[in-house]
Structure 1
């Protein structure tokens, strides 16, 4: 990339309570699926960078787990990862859901008052508001809650009004060279992204509680001529959960594997041979050592 004197680059934290659309927003900006998504809260567990580069700026988005209160160890690790992302960034994007305001939103906003970094409020899912006139009082009320640097209504799912957000962010980035190569879109490895795509299918295809007790580890990742071989473990906490993941006569694990393989092939642009195994690791969601081994940030 030819460096220009006016080139701007910086870090942008995406924060908000679970399930407001932070990951969907980052994927929409990047034009690539980097963060997994589902309709369930707390799908995102790890802090993840997404790099958006143009001819005159580079924005490095930090997608974070939803900030929430919980006594579970794994949830505390997730919240700590989200809060630590606020340190050293050039701007914060606070994502809320149109027409909704909760105690969780208020608690996060109180935290943001201590940051001292420009905060842009993004009101997501405005495409679901009907009639659209109902949005104006909500926006006015939100503007009165905090001295936001800007307020941007948009639809991350539809890709509506993303340019307005990018424009607001660009002027708040400092001048400087790119932080990452222009063809890099995330800081995570292909192994990590493949594990996340498998975990996404666990969230899509299983019942209410089981996905929150699962984690995915890629044990074997081998690239051959036109083929990638992947062996991965789906970890659960109890034998009963293992039976649910496997399904009757192995049908559930087969369905998870089929859909995950298709998603991974799209990511890698190659044929994939995927083998999944279900292992029991008792109490891993409450075990500090296990959480650190699985990549959770304390």
Structure 2
């Protein structure tokens, strides 16, 4: 039996969450074209007869500008400390020097596989050129080129990872797919809709707090607060005569019902908490 932690690192929007979801076959990490969508370290557990891999999606590596960013980078640091194998994911279409600077700064003590993502948006010559670049780097054990969004051969992808994993007993039961509670994923599904429905800076000023999660006989009742910085942001999320909050709630409810396989009654409130991203107590309350 092989068992270990395979942690995914990279720049914002390289495709870490898309890769995690594709490997597990479940939507555990929310996905958005906007950068810095992932704020937590999300563990996804893959268990087969002869191995257990605990994949970790981590926030995109950035220079922290406020305390929320600092919490996000602490999640990256924690993932560095317990990794058995690192997956260094890079957008094959970007200048490789950008990701190389980050990968070098990680000072990895474990073997690393560089994953070149978004191959569907380039040509074979470009993939070959970038593969050669990373092959020459001291932190790189091997290079794999994929399109996480379009699909790839999971068995071929896992083969070099399994070679590097240590032998050992499983860390989790075979039924576990994550170490995080259902409430966490529900809050993330609501937050994802904020990213989908609203533009500019508003999603980055938003957090979601699940205040009630009650399983009743026929449905699950969920009450959640959407936290914003300013009254103007609250007005935008509510929309004209409540149109936007209604749309957000309807779309989030569909995703939550699909995820928990139960009917859901979802009630959303919008609350203004100025500068919550800088407030330690509020960050803790919102799960950071």
Structure 2 partner of 1:46: 40
Matched, 1:25 2:19: yes
Report the alpha carbon displacement of residue 58 of structure 1 after superposing the two structures with TM.
0.5
The aligned length equals: 288
SS in 2 for 1:254: helix
- Give the structure-2-normalised TM-score: 0.96
Structure 2 partner of 1:4: none
Distance 1:55 1:100 in 2: 38
Q: Which runs of 5 or more structure 2 residues have no equivalent in the other structure?
A: none
Structure 1 partner of 2:191: 199
SS in 2 for 1:203: helix
- Give the structure-1-normalised TM-score: 0.93
Distance 2:79 2:139 in 1: 21
Contact 2:4 2:54 in 1 (8 A): yes
SS in 2 for 1:86: helix
Cα RMSD (Å):
1.3
Distance 1:9 1:227 in 2: 37
Report the alpha carbon displacement of residue 120 of structure 1 after superposing the two structures with TM.
0.6
Structure 2 partner of 1:235: 227
User: Closer, same or farther in 2 for the Cα pair 1:102/1:263, shift >3 Å?
Assistant: same
Contact 1:35 1:48 in 2 (8 A): yes
Contact 1:50 1:185 in 2 (8 A): yes
In the TM superposition, 1:145-156 aligns within 5 A as 145-156=137-148
Instruction: Encode CA deviations 1:168-223: one digit per residue, 9 max, x unaligned.
Output: 11111111111111111001111111000000000000011000000001101111
Choose from 152, 155, 170 the match for 2:162.
170
Structure 2 partner of 1:71: 65
Report the alpha carbon displacement of residue 24 of structure 1 after superposing the two structures with TM.
0.7
Choose from 116, 119, 124 the match for 1:123.
116
In the TM superposition, 1:1-298 aligns within 5 A as 7-101=1-95, 104-112=98-106, 114-129=107-122, 131-296=123-288
Contact 1:153 1:161 in 2 (8 A): no
Report the alpha carbon displacement of residue 267 of structure 1 after superposing the two structures with TM.
0.2
Contact 1:236 1:282 in 2 (8 A): yes
